Amino acid sequence: MNSDCIFCRIAAGEIPCAKIYESEEILAFLDIAPVNKGHALLIPKRHHENFFDLPDEIAGVLLADLKRVGAAVMAATKADGLNLGMNNYEAAGQLVMHAHFHLIPRFLDDGLNHWGQKSYESQDEMNAFAEKIRSSLA
């Protein structure tokens, strides 16, 4: 438990939340500032900063629960789709440094746009990126 961490404090019951689901290791609750109503967060109860810090067993349990809670969010909100997302590190928009998935119900007419896309200069440049990433696999 990191007492400076808002999600640790929610997991410990020190700060209230609109709880959806809880197991020994995982908690799901509504985001206080939803992209669409029903926007939920799924977290490991123990403090891990981001996805890459999660022990594999916890990542596995988190993903299984993501499927189950995601289906419930979609069913309950009658959503047409669901964005599952995780911001890792400040540059990716992570504000709360306790790993969490966002489950965002989406509607055909919700007016939200996806982020912009770029292009590669050439096929060679694209292949070079793929090669760099392949050779970085641990």
Taking the least distance from each CB to ligand 5GP, the nearer of 27 and 79 is: 27
Distance between CA atoms of residues 36 and 49, nearest Å: 25
Taking the least distance from each CB to ligand 5GP, the nearer of 40 and 79 is: 40
Name the catalytic one among 39, 98, 100, 102: 100
Distance between CA atoms of residues 41 and 99, nearest Å: 10
Largest CA distance in the chain: 53
CB 82 within 8 A of CB 74: yes
Structural element, H or E, at residue 30: strand 26-30
Which of 95, 108, 137, 138 is the binder for ligand 5GP (CB under 6 A)?
95
Examine the residue annotation and report whether 47 is marked as an active-site residue of this protein: no
Binding mask 3-42 for ligand 5GP (x = CB under 6 A): ---x----------x-----------xxxxx---------
